[in-house]
Amino acid sequence: MRRRGLYRAVAFLAAAGLVAGACGGSDDSAPADTTEESSEEAEAPAEEPADEPADEPAEEPAVEAGDEAEGDVDTEIVEEETAIEYGGSVSVGLEAEATGLRPWEDTCSSPCYNMMVAVYDKLVEQTSSGAYSPNVAESISANEDFTVWTMTLRPGITFHNGVELTAQTIADMFPIQQAGAAGSGAVSAANLVSVEATGDLEVTYTLSQGGSAFPASLARAPLGMVFDPAAAAADSEGYSMAPIGTGPFVIDSRDLDNETTFVRNDNYWATDPDGNALPYLDSISFRPIPDEGTRLDALLSGTINAMQTLRQGTIRDARAARDDDGADITLWEFQGNNLGGGMFNVLVPPFDDVRVRRALVKMGSQEQTIEALGGTGISLPATQWFSPDSPWWSEKVAEAWPQFDFEGGVEILTEYINDPERSDGKAVGESIDVELSCPPDPTLIAAMQVSEQLYTASGLVNVTLTNFDQQTHIGIALGGENGFVGDHKMHCWRWGSDDDPAVSLNPALAPPTAEIAEAAGIPGVVSPLNFPNWFSPTAFQAAVAANQTDDFETRFGLYESIMLEFADQVPVYYSGHTATAIGTDTNVLGLNSWHLPSGELGIGFPAAEGRWAEVFIAS
């Protein structure tokens, strides 16, 4: 058996059947940048991972603007040059089964989105440059203060059941979205108060607060995916098993936990830029295969001909199979604005003192953590919520983020420990207590142990490691029973997405409690999604301001200022950007060259979420 097999065995034993999720956080993210600036993929010198053991800290080089990690080979989004072919089937291995296929109701993550985008179309999609562009919508525009958005739909689009899509359809979707488990949160986040049909194909959205990033909401499942409201109202449960959309594929069969098959929608409205009918494939099926190793083996053995992964270790193994063993597979890799790491609960001593947070970040080595996570040569160290090839990435922030400096961290922590007024109430000179918690994924445990070794080596920190399954882990941070402030200390988490920053970042900046909101003079503005419970009036105001203008330079400056505050106050810490991939047989093409109706290239396959309409099998 190859070494990979042994790793799998050990990993499987350690995980004991648990679905080892990434380190918490929501995967509910339809990715991509939001601006009209092009993202540049610069090739830069590779960074050497630190070889030093954890107890011999080394200087860690800063990431330069435009850097890519060694081996970070994000697949380019380009026009496919191979001649398209019709027919054939693709079988995709997903990391989990979709809990349901109702955009307004079911909490979705990357595996589920792969299925949903086959059957549903979004009103708005993202281009390869990250801009939001109309899809099912033909146009969308806002009034001056971004409180009223007018959208015109494309004519002649019908659902799989033959029902015509009109403006009234979108209006009728709204009450269902308001009542839906997934939709209600999206409605609330977008400050959406009404959706009206103001013409046969014209829809007017009214927001309670101006939102320049509102189109981002129409590019996400709960508000952006078009469903038949009459059918949904008639049989919501049935809709989950037999979804009806306007998308390129029609549901054929759904065998929960085993296989869901979609067949070509012969009446699909969209064409490729040459006017060829879509989709190219006859059918596509999705199979949940939770074990990462089995999913890769299924691809290598031909059991399936495509698979997704959100794990660096699997990308590493797939690369090895391709490069060392000669496997005929293509890896469609993507490293966007999603990163791992964690947070400090700043309401809990000693993390309420910024010196402790700074010290712990300086004493932790991202390079060694990434190595423990299996991401060396795959994932970049992070300094902010944006990857170096994102238009939102800031060199200033990269320089400001506290780099690995063990002695510097010890010095800061010593100052705290010797402070008679130290916040944790311990005696002067006593070590601080740090409880570090992650889900029980073997690689995360290895990464925790890196931090533990470093902190313990300082002689100033008593470290306790805890592991709870992913739901419990999230629940601990979310709280709920204690006013959503959570019961966490130092907690693994996942940050960011390729959505507009207003989607991923703004909710994390609002006051975490009613008391804090009251004190800040903004009563009633409370977000349970501020997991670190860190509140800065300036960062919050910057986030609000960024949602009230569509000028990129202004917005960039505002988000840069927020990230600079993060670098100074360190409510969160990072363990590298998240690499994701879709692996396919080499003759499966087109994942990186799907188009919007405008002819622009789409965002690609962020978070291993493929668009399958323009995928074809080359003979």
Contact 470, 21 (CB under 8 A): yes
Q: Which among 445, 495, 451 is positioned nearest to 341, based on CA atoms? A: 495
| DSSP 8-state code for residue 469 | -
CB 140 within 8 A of CB 150: yes
What six digits make up the tokens of 518? 């009251």
Least CB distance to another protein at residue 334 (A): 21
Q: Which of residues 225, 300, 315, 417 is near another protein by CB under 8 A?
A: 300
Residue type present at position 246 = T
- 16 is a contact residue toward another protein (CB under 8 A): yes
| Residue type, position 123, single letter | L
DSSP secondary structure of 327-390: --EEEEEEEEEEEEEEEE-TTSTTTTSHHHHHHHHHHS-HHHHHHHTT-TTTS---SSSS-TTS
150 interacts with another protein by CB under 8 A: no
Q: Does 1 bind another protein (CB under 8 A)?
A: yes
CB of 359 to another protein, least distance (A): 28
Instruction: Pick from 142, 298, 417, 542 the residue near another protein by CB under 8 A.
Output: 298
Residue of 18, 44, 65, 457 interacting with another protein (CB under 8 A): 18
Nearest to 504 by CA among 212, 133, 217: 217
186 belongs to the binding site for another protein (CB under 8 A)? yes
Nearer to another protein, 80 or 317 (CB): 317
Distance CA 502, CA 506 (A): 5
First to last CA, the chain: 32
Helices (H) and strands (E) in the chain, counts: 20, 18
Residue (91 or 129) nearer to another protein, CB: 91
Please tell me whether residue 182 binds another protein under the rule CB under 8 A. yes
Tell the smallest beta-carbon distance from residue 256 to another protein (Å). 7
| Member of 302, 459, 523, 537 binding another protein (CB under 8 A) | 302
- Residue (178 or 206) nearer to another protein, CB: 178
Q: How far is the CB of 12 from another protein (least distance, A)?
A: 6
> Site for another protein (CB under 8 A): how many residues?
69
> Contacting another protein (CB under 8 A), which of 430, 468, 545, 597?
468
Q: Which is nearer to another protein, 111 or 377 (CB)?
A: 111
CB of 78 to another protein, least distance (A): 31
Judge whether 591 and 584 are in contact, CB under 8 Å. yes
Smallest distance from another protein to CB 451, Å: 23
DSSP labels, 17-67? T----SSSS---------SSSPPP----PPPPPP-S-TTS----PPPPTT-
The answer to whether 189 contacts another protein (rule: CB under 8 A) is: yes
The b-or-e profile of 506-540 (16+ CB within 10 A means b, else e) is: bbbbbbbbeebbeebebeeebbbbbbbbbbbeebb
Q: Among residue numbers 225 through 284, which ones bind another protein (CB under 8 A)?
A: 236-237, 240, 255-259
Query: Of these, 209, 271, 301, 586, which contacts another protein (CB under 8 A)?
Result: 301
Smallest gap from Cβ 9 to another protein, in A, equals 5
Residue 71 near residue 48, CB atoms below 8 Å:
no
Q: Is 295 in the site for another protein (CB under 8 A)?
A: yes
Report helix angle 3-15 to 442-457, nearest 10. 80
If one asks whether residue 318 binds another protein (CB under 8 A), the answer comes out as: no
Please report whether residue 328 would count as binding another protein according to CB under 8 A.
Answer: no
Q: Which spans of this chain sit near another protein (rule: CB under 8 A)?
A: 1-2, 5, 8-9, 12-13, 16-19, 21, 25-26, 28, 93, 96-97, 99-100, 107-108, 181-182, 184-186, 188-189, 236-237, 240, 255-259, 287-291, 293-295, 297-298, 300-304, 468-472, 474-476, 478, 480-481, 484, 487, 507, 527-529
